[in-house]
């Protein structure tokens, strides 16, 4: 009996342990993400989760000192293993004017932070200049491009390969915040951002300990945030502590190197219309996604992006009179053929319309099979299916200036992206726009060549004076009224007195003057490629290759091709449906006797 009781108790204990184990497994599986997140925050990796754990601050005041050369050499050796440096600058403002950069902070992932007191150096050391100009080493921070421009202006040194951490934050699905909030969110470390400290005297003979910590922490935190966000892009198990390599993150950040975050996102978002950003107004908008507000120095207006959750591709079938499949079309277009009595509905599982007339052309080769293939309603980059936006791979600001034969039937270059991928794609487009602006001498920013009309300050003063005297004359003091009269008399030198006719003319004067140097960016680029750079096919190919290289889409439609339009024009040329002039504009060789060749399939 005693033995039986002991066996029974042992069995009960086993079942209790098994039940407890199953309960523990259930809790771990159910709350695995929060547990992993907590463990990641608790595990301290050298120079990563706690950027101050192995902090080594070196203050350098002379350019030719052996200590300076030693620290720069050490930074370079660290960069051979991890090609990233935290980058920041400090300066002072006197009488409303900015003084040259006083302090340059560079930090490695191993906790070394070098504080270069440029205000004490006669010139930037040669080795430091080489380090800053090395485009293989990425300098990370928040708004590093602004600091790089200050160094270039003050000391004539170029800072290559800067990366704004906010790009990484957006790519990883986080908020684009300042350095302090990024540090608190991703490192669980609070940076001291007291304005009195930020605006302290960085040119003092001796910097205080609190200043040194403030400056070093910003640069050290930048590297640690970079590592954390890179891991968020490619999540790993919490026990996987393998170090990051450039192969892990370089392809992802390449499109955003040396791109200003604020300008990049304002241009990318505001140009979404040019890129086919929103769904047509007739389509129901069931979800709207508003881009994150970014603090920028100037007021900028960005178009709101509307995401469409209804299926974009209906994949209805369009057939020739003999039943041969021509292409897939949307339901609205199919209904149009029926309403115009141009086709007949063919019953079947898929909505099909058979034309009542012979089409101008048939599906030929891979080009034709592309249009016959059904398309998936998903983001071509990440595969998301719940909401998407149309993206014109070749932006409309260029396509609109193409010849008609290259503007029609361009659905090949209209792809679906989710809101995040669409936003990142538009930002990455900024780099190629800048390249085209330089190559074709076609500025797209609001410089002198981009503004169609500029304001004449003298005419504006005349108009202001005329309107004030016309509509507010009774409220204006006599002294001010005399000044306004003098402004008008100085401009209208032939008049000796102020009359109602003169006031009316002044109030309606146009103070905008046409800019003789104005050129439309897209039109100029198309013109240059048409006349000098190999034809418009090359421009199309460049934009498609750029999209594939930067976004690395995993779900492109079957038979999508960077040379699609060239192949399509070749097919049309073989059928006599394109002129030699259009082939030459596209950059394709002209066909002999093409214009006189009869069209076997007249419209």
Mean pLDDT of 261-278: 46
Span 90-127, pLDDT tens digits: 999 988 889 999 999 999 988 999 999 999 987 888 89
Residue 426 token pair:
């538009």
Q: Above 70 in pLDDT, residue 240?
A: no
Closest to 223 in 3D by CA, of 399, 352, 52, 103:
52
Mean pLDDT of 261-271: 52
From residue 211, give the alpha-carbon distance in Å to each of 207, 555, 574: 6, 51, 73
- Ordered domains of the chain (ranges, CATH): 56-263 (3.30.420.10), 316-443+520-586 (no CATH), 453-514 (no CATH)
> What is the chain's mean pLDDT, rounded?
79
Res 179: pLDDT: 93
* CB proximity list for 369: less than 8 A, separation 6 or greater: 363, 559
Q: What is the DSSP letter of 385?
A: -
* CB proximity list for 254: less than 8 A, separation 6 or greater: 550
Residue 307: its H or E element: strand 305-307
pTM of the model: 0.56
Rounded-to-integer distance, Cα 600 and Cα 432, Å: 41
Reduced to 3 states, what is the DSSP secondary structure of residue 523? helix
Cβ atoms < 10 Å from Cβ of 304: 12
Span 33-84, pLDDT tens digits: 556 555 544 444 444 445 566 788 999 998 878 889 999 999 999 998 889 9
Mean pLDDT of 261-275: 48
Span 385-407, pLDDT tens digits: 888 888 999 998 898 888 887 87
Residue 133 token pair:
């100009």
Res 283: pLDDT: 32
Cβ atoms < 10 Å from Cβ of 288: 12
Q: Above 60 in pLDDT, residue 300?
A: no
Please, where are the H alpha helices in 441-520? 457-471, 478-491, 500-507
Q: Above 60 in pLDDT, residue 499?
A: yes
Rounded-to-integer distance, Cα 391 and Cα 277, Å: 6
Rounded-to-integer distance, Cα 546 and Cα 551, Å: 8
Res 25: pLDDT: 77
Span 412-469, pLDDT tens digits: 889 999 888 887 888 788 778 888 888 888 876 544 445 666 778 888 899 999 899 9
Res 444: pLDDT: 67
The length of the chain in residues reads 603
Q: Above 80 in pLDDT, residue 226?
A: yes
Res 31: pLDDT: 62
Rounded-to-integer distance, Cα 417 and Cα 391, Å: 7
- Residue 284 burial (10 A CB sphere; 0-12, 13-18, 19+): exposed
């Amino acid at each position: 009996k005693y033995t039986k009781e002991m066996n029974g108790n042992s069995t009960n204990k086993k079942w209790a342990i098994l039940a407890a184990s199953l309960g523990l497994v259930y809790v771990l599986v159910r709350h695995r993400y929060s547990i992993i997140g907590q463990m990641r925050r608790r595990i301290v990796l050298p120079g990563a989760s706690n950027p101050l754990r192995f902090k080594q601050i070196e203050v350098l005041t002379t350019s030719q000192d052996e200590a300076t050369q030693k620290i720069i050499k050490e930074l370079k050796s660290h960069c051979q293993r991890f090609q990233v440096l935290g980058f920041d600058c400090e300066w002072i403002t006197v009488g409303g004017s900015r003084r040259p950069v006083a302090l340059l902070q560079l930090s490695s992932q191993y906790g070394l932070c070098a504080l270069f007191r440029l205000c004490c150096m006669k010139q930037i050391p040669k080795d430091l200049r080489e380090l800053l100009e090395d485009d293989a080493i990425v300098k990370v921070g928040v708004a590093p491009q602004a600091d790089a421009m200050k160094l270039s202006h003050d000391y004539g040194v170029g800072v290559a390969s800067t990366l704004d951490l906010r790009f990484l934050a957006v790519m990883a699905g986080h908020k684009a915040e300042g350095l302090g909030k990024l540090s608190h969110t991703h490192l669980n470390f609070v940076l001291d951002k007291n304005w009195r400290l930020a605006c302290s005297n960085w040119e003092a003979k001796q910097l205080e300990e609190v200043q040194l910590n403030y400056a070093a922490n910003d640069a050290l935190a930048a590297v640690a945030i970079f590592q954390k966000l890179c891991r968020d892009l490619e999540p790993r198990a919490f026990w996987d502590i393998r170090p990051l390599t450039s192969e892990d993150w370089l392809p992802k950040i390449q499109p955003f190197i040396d791109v200003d975050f604020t300008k990049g996102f304002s241009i990318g978002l505001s140009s979404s219309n040019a890129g086919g950003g929103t769904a047509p107004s007739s389509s129901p908008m069931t979800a709207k996604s508003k881009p994150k507000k970014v603090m920028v120095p100037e007021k900028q207006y960005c178009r709101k992006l509307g995401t469409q959750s209804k299926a974009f591709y209906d994949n209805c079938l369009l057939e020739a009179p003999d039943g041969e499949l021509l292409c897939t079309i949307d339901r609205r277009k199919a209904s149009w053929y029926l309403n115009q009595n141009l086709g007949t509905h063919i019953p079947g599982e898929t909505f099909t319309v058979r034309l009542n007339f012979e089409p101008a052309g048939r599906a030929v080769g891979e080009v034709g099979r592309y249009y016959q293939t059904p398309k998936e309603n998903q983001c071509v980059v990440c595969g998301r299916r719940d909401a998407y936006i149309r993206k014109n791979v070749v932006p409309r600001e260029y396509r609109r200036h193409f010849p008609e034969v290259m503007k029609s039937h361009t659905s090949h270059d209209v792809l679906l992206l989710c809101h995040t991928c669409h936003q990142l794609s538009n930002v990455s487009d900024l780099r190629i726009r800048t390249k085209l602006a330089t190559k074709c001498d076609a500025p797209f920013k609001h410089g002198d060549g981009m503004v169609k009309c500029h304001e004449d300050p003298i005419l504006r003063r005349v108009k202001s004076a005329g309107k004030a005297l016309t509509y507010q004359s009774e409220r204006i003091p006599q002294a001010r009224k005399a000044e306004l009269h003098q402004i008008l008399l100085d401009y209208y030198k032939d008049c000796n007195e102020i009359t109602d006719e003169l006031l009316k003319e002044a109030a309606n004067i146009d103070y905008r003057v046409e800019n003789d140097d104005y050129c439309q960016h897209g039109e100029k680029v198309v013109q240059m490629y048409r006349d000098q750079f190999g034809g418009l096919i090359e421009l199309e190919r460049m934009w498609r290759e750029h999209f594939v290289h930067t976004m690395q889409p995993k779900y492109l439609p079957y038979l999508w091709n960077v040379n699609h339009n060239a192949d399509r024009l070749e097919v049309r040329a073989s059928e006599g449906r394109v002129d030699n002039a259009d082939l030459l504009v596209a950059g394709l060789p002209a066909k002999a006797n093409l214009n006189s060749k009869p069209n076997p399939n007249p419209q």
